[in-house]
Amino acid sequence: MSSSFEDVAFGAAGARARVLAAPSSASTRAAVIVLQEWWGVNDVVLAHARRLRDELGVTVLVPDLYRGELGVDVEEAHHLMTNMDWKVATEEIREAAAWLRAERKAERVGVVGFCMGGALTLIAAAKASVDCAVPFYGIPGDDACDVSAIEVPVQGHFGEKDNLVGFSDPGSAKKLRERLRQGEIHFYENVGHAFMNTTPQPYPNFEEREKVQGFPKLDESAVELAWSRVDAFLRKHLQL
């Protein structure tokens, strides 16, 4: 089973993505779009994509919303995210889903996103013709998406110590839960934002990440619990 990502282009504007094909033995025709954090398409998001492919046996696609750029520190990541056109990004996710259906014969497409990608996952659930959505610690503003209009199943994941008020803190996540039509929201104690990252990238260690951003250190039990829930949710709604 190959672990090499393929670079592909799609859509009218030539959007780019990394694709990891489903194993040849897979009997399902389903796919998952994995959306980056504000850092860009780094090793962390590619590891998430690889895990989903290996565990579910589906094709995964990671859109490169920054066109190859990476945030090497908080300032640069913030610059990249705030200068990204969210409407264009949403259209690229819609085009990615269409490409997977046309080129990889995917009958069902789910989307999983982290941080900035979590917010985009909810927007995609409303606007990008996907079958289910799994946002991690990210909620879009009302000007970007009316989450109460989402018609597909949603499974959200948030840390109880998340300090990004208005974007992914527990209070905001509880409001999200109240507004979703088909939503389940899970909270994880003793963890904060970005708790799924099993490496501190782009920091040298978790202590430095906690010092700069205030995010608690890695809790592997929370990570594995979240993945088990994602696995069950996607198997159900992608009919794996």
pLDDT string in tens for the chain (240-residue length): 556 899 999 988 889 999 999 987 776 799 999 999 999 999 999 999 999 999 999 999 999 999 999 999 999 999 999 999 999 999 999 999 999 999 999 999 999 999 999 999 999 999 999 999 999 999 999 999 999 999 999 999 999 999 999 999 999 999 999 999 999 999 999 999 999 999 988 899 999 999 988 898 899 999 999 999 999 999 999 999
Cα dihedral across residues 166, 171, 173, 176: positive or negative: negative
The model's pTM is 0.96
Q: Enumerate residues 6+ apart whose C-beta is below 8 A from 201.
A: 39, 42, 43, 44
In the chain, what are the domains? 6-237 (3.40.50.1820)
Q: Using CB atoms within 10 Å of the CB of residue 3, give its burial: 0 to 12 exposed, 13 to 18 middle, 19+ buried.
A: exposed
